[in-house]
Amino acid sequence: MRNGNLIDFYKNEQLATTAFKELRLRKGITCKKCGSTQHYWLAPKQQFQCKQCRFRTTLQSGTVLEGSKLPISYFFIAVYLIMKKGNAFTIQEFQDETGHKYYEPLYDFVRKIKAYLHENDQNRILIDFVEILNQQLPVEN
């Protein structure tokens, strides 16, 4: 693991998108239309495409981020802060870190993320994050 503040990596939207895609691949993607689990990654569209019926699945679809218009990096920033701060975590802090203008969407977003963390094994999520992050980080010269 490199030194430096982890949250700065999570704030990188491209990195976050790649990491979120990796997270989805680990869980497996099921086509909503035909139930197939075989998909291609359509890089230009940033979507998965079913090998059977060509139905497309967005990165957010079927996840905690479904319906969210916020950047994917917000997911990692929120998870990071909630895990680090626990009950001391505030939406205000999340707003400061993201620089997002509006409070309301962040409030709803955090509520969803907290429910997600509650339902899932946090240690497993953390291990996945660190592994994925290490894979994504540029090699140090």
Report yes or no: 1 and 134 within 8 Å, Cβ to Cβ: yes
Of the pair 11, 39, the CB lying nearest Zn ion is at 39
Give the CA-trace dihedral at 80, 73, 107, 60, to 10 degrees: -110
As measured in angstroms, the least distance from the Cβ of 42 to Zn ion is 14
As measured in angstroms, the least distance from the Cβ of 66 to Zn ion is 18
Contacting residues toward Zn ion, per CB under 5 A: 31, 33-34, 36, 50, 52-53, 55
**Summary count for the chain: helices (H), strands (E):** 6, 3
Of the pair 31, 59, the CB lying nearest Zn ion is at 31
Report yes or no: 78 and 91 within 8 Å, Cβ to Cβ: no
Report yes or no: 71 and 97 within 8 Å, Cβ to Cβ: no
As measured in angstroms, the least distance from the Cβ of 43 to Zn ion is 19
Report which of 18, 19, 3 is spatially closest to residue 129, judged by C-alpha positions: 19
Of the pair 12, 52, the CB lying nearest Zn ion is at 52
As measured in angstroms, the least distance from the Cβ of 22 to Zn ion is 21
Of the pair 12, 49, the CB lying nearest Zn ion is at 49
Those residues whose C-beta lies under 8 Å from the C-beta of residue 37, and which sit 6 or more positions away, are 28, 29, 30, 31
